[in-house]
């Protein structure tokens, strides 16, 4: 069987092996998928050892930027994102790096939630790697405006400058904007620490604004709990994004896109 894996540190919590097992069962594809714990000081060695026989890997925290350096070719998405979360070993032995995070986010919002991004005012909270990885697909979906907000404004400005040729993007500080927007995406890790980004409650128009936390948990994340109390029309977490980005990786590797709905339902 063709071998695939997810590589990270830590890795024991990863849902990727279950997701890809369900994808394989659904599509009839013959493959194995495992979780690999890479040493923090030797991700490259772990990656190369697996790909001597393995056909592809997913890359998770904290190795996505290292993976970008190690592959031979970059997809358009990976080139812009500056990070790789999916690697495919080609027939000649070279490595193709892709980044499916942004595609997964956009598909979760548009296909699963039924919300078109075209013409929307979107606020992207955070200016780290998670934010950078999703900006190009968000802009390709045609929002009226995508504003990156961050506590350190210079980081938001630097990030916006990287994508200024891709669409209507701007930058601001956490407390600069108080007018309601259509969609707020939390790309910070604040929810992991039980915190909420220090953005204005006025950004949420009750009954209208959609809020999306790229983190996920068994119950509502702190960000989504905050948004719900303010009357957000809908609050979504990142589990759908996780499944959808995995489906994009599966499509790259196997040439078939699995149906994500039953897999997401099983995870829920």
Active site amino acids: 64
Q: Is 260 annotated as a binding residue?
A: no
Cα(57)–Cα(48) distance, rounded to whole angstroms? 11
Cα(76)–Cα(120) distance, rounded to whole angstroms? 24
Q: Is 60 annotated as a binding residue?
A: yes
Q: Is 153 annotated as a binding residue?
A: yes
Q: Is 166 annotated as a binding residue?
A: no
Q: Output DSSP code: residue 44.
A: H
Q: Is 181 annotated as a binding residue?
A: no
* DSSP E strand boundaries for the chain: 2-8, 31-37, 56-59, 73-74, 86-89, 95-98, 121-125, 145-150, 169-173, 183-186, 210-213, 234-236
Q: Is 15 annotated as a binding residue?
A: yes
Q: Is 58 annotated as a binding residue?
A: no
Residue that the structure tokens 């369900």 belong to: 22
Q: Is 75 annotated as a binding residue?
A: no
Q: Cβ-count burial of 165 within 10 angstroms (0-12 exposed, 13-18 middle, 19+ buried)?
A: exposed
Is there a contact between 147 and 169 (Cβ–Cβ < 8 Å)? yes
Q: Is 14 annotated as a binding residue?
A: yes
Which residues line the annotated binding site? 14-16, 60, 85, 101, 126-130, 150-155, 214, 216, 238, 245
Which residues are documented as binding site for NADP(+)? 126-130, 150-155, 214, 238
Binding site per annotation, positions for shikimate: 14-16, 60, 85, 101, 216, 245
């Amino acid at each position: 069987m063709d071998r695939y894996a997810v590589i990270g540190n830590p890795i024991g919590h990863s849902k990727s092996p279950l997701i890809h097992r369900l994808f394989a069962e659904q599509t009839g594809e013959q493959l194995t998928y495992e979780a690999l714990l890479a040493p923090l000081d030797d991700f490259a060695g772990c990656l190369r050892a697996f790909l001597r026989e393995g056909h592809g890997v997913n890359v998770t925290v904290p190795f996505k930027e290292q993976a970008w350096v190690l592959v031979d070719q970059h997809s358009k998405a990976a080139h812009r994102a500056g990070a790789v979360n999916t690697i495919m070993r080609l027939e000649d032995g070279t490595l193709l790096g892709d980044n499916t995070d942004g595609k997964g986010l956009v598909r979760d919002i548009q296909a699963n939630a039924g919300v078109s991004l075209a013409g929307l005012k979107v606020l992207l909270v955070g200016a780290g790697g998670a934010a950078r990885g999703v900006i190009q697909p968000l802009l390709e979906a045609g929002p009226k405006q995508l504003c990156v907000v961050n506590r350190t404004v210079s980081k938001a400005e630097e990030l916006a400058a990287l994508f200024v040729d891709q669409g209507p993007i701007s930058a601001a500080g956490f407390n600069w904007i108080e007018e309601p927007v259509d969609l707020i995406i939390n790309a910070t890790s604040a929810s992991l620490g039980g915190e909420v980004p220090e953005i204005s409650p006025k950004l949420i128009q009750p009954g209208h604004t959609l809020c999306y936390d790229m983190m996920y948990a068994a119950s509502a994340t702190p960000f989504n709990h905050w948004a719900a109390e303010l009357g957000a029309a809908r609050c979504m977490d990142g589990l759908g994004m996780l499944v959808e980005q995995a489906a994009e990786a599966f499509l790259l590797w196997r040439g078939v896109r699995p149906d994500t709905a039953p897999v997401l339902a099983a995870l829920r």
